[in-house]
Amino acid sequence: MALEALSLASGSSGNAILVKDDTTAILIDAGIGIRKLTAALRYRGVDPSELSAILITHEHSDHITGAVRTAHRYGVPLVANAPTLQAIRHSENVPTQVMDVGECIAFGGMQVRSFRVSHDAACPVGYTICGCKSTITSVTDTGMLLPEIQEEAANADLLILESNYDEEMLIEGPYPYFLKYRIKSENGHLSNDAAAGLIIDLAESGRTPSVWLAHLSKTNNSPSIALATAQHLLWAYSGEHLNISVALRDIPSLHWIGN
């Protein structure tokens, strides 16, 4: 059963990643409206009622906008740690499942493990999903590369990695100082350069995952700049080429199939 990942939306305005195999489908976040999410899922051949879980990374709106309504309408459990579930406003008739940080839970043939990231939310996490032969790791909101992130990334066949902002665009851009400081802080977001640094480390250690650059800022980044930064720095520091792509903001875009 090959593991697949499909980007339904990725960016500072909404995020949703579909992961599936032959028998099971789960979402990482549901940060777009329920109509758009339903259409995107059906475009990818999955009805929302077929989802086994919606994994929530943290409670910010660009990750949960459609989560509660989708869970309520289709009976799909919201899966997250207790602090995150408490931070999400939902009625008692929304199905939920507590998943502690570091815990591993099986959904069909997939093994899902959460790990700590560094972001200004109640208890933010990333997720690693293991199939029979492939592993996907997703890190979309973190201000620094914690050891846990580096460890999970080192074992991934597909790494979905935040590349939120170009440092020059952020500094010279229209955001007020306090927001620029938040974004650049250890509890904020990863820059293009920081994302490239992790990719370089993986390449130099002999790891060659496919990489999706994700969660790009609309104001402080662009797909072309994020991709060029990663490719240029990777080649300059390691002389390696990897399969690097950019997940687009408002539409279903990337599709990866494992072994």
Q: Are 97 and 71 in contact (CB under 8 A)?
A: no
| pLDDT of 239 strictly over 90 | no
Query: How many domains does the chain divide into?
Result: 1
> Mean pLDDT across the stretch 180-189?
97
Rounded-to-integer distance, Cα 102 and Cα 135, Å:
16
- Helix (H) or strand (E) holding 40, with range, is helix 34-43
Report the Cα–Cα distance between both ends of the chain, in Å, rounded.
8
Closest C-alpha to 138, from 55, 42, 250 = 55
Quick: pLDDT tens for 5-64: 999 999 988 999 999 999 999 999 999 999 999 999 998 999 999 999 999 999 999 999
For 82-163, list the strands marked E by DSSP. 96-98, 104-107, 110-116, 125-130, 135-139, 158-162
The residue range of the domain holding 33 is 4-257
Binned at pLDDT 50, 70 and 90, residue 175 comes out as: very high
Quick: pLDDT tens for 88-106: 977 678 999 999 999 999 9
Domain with residue 61: its CATH number is 3.60.15.10
3-state secondary structure of 214: strand
pLDDT at 91: 66
Which residues, listed in sequence order, are joined to residue 78 by a DSSP beta bridge? 54, 96
Give the chain's largest Cα–Cα span: 54
Dihedral angle at the C-alpha atoms of 12, 26, 153, 168, nearest 10 degrees?
A: -10
Number of H helices, E strands in the chain: 9, 14
Q: Are 161 and 195 in contact (CB under 8 A)?
A: yes
pTM recorded for the entire structure: 0.96
pLDDT more than 90, % of the chain: 88
Sheet order of strands, 255-257 included: 96-98, 78-80, 51-55, 25-28, 16-20, 4-9, 255-257
Q: Which residue has the tokens 């939902």?
A: 90
Structure tokens at 214: 């994700």
Rounded-to-integer distance, Cα 45 and Cα 75, Å:
19
